[in-house]
Structure 1
Amino acid sequence: MPTTYEQVRESITTNIVATIATSIKNKYAPFARDVKAGEFQRAYNPSNGNSWEGLNSLMFDIKKAEKNYPSNEWVTIKDAAYLGAPTAEIDMLKSSWQDKAVKVQYIAKKEVVNVYKTDKDGKPLPLLDENGKPRMGKDGNPLYQFEMTPQLDAQGNPVIDHKTNKPYMKIKTELRDLPQPVLKTDIVYNIAEFPSVAQALEKVKEARAELEAGKNINTAEIKNFNKFKPLNKSTEYKHILSNSKDYQADCKKVVLQDIKAQLNPVTAEQLTHYFNAQNFNRDYNVPKGFNEQQKQDIQRILDNQNSKEQDSKKQEVQKEQPKQEKQTQAKAPATKKAKVQGKGR
Structure 2
Amino acid sequence: MAQISQKTQISEKAQASQAPQPADGTEAKTRIVVPDTHRMVSLLGSRDEVLKAVEQHVKADVHVRGNEITLTGEPADNAYAERLIGELLTVLERGEELTPDTVRTAAGMLDAGTSERPAEVLTLSILSRRGRTIRPKTLNQKHYVDAIDNHTIVFGIGPAGTGKTYLAMAKAVQALQAKQVNRIILTRPAVEAGERLGYLPGTLFDKIDPYLRPLYDALHDMLDPETIPKLMAAGTIEVAPLAYMRGRSLNDAFIILDEAQNTTPEQMKMFLTRLGFGSKIVVTGDVTQVDLPGGQMSGLRVVREILENVEDIHFATLTSADVVRHRLVADIVDAYGQWDADHATSSAPARVRGQRSGRGR
Please give the TM-score of this superposition, normalised by the length of structure 1.
0.22
Task: Provide TM-score, normalisation by structure 2.
Answer: 0.21
* Higher gyration radius (CA): 1
Q: Which has the higher contact order (CA 8 A, sep 6+)?
A: 1
Q: Which has the higher strand share?
A: 2
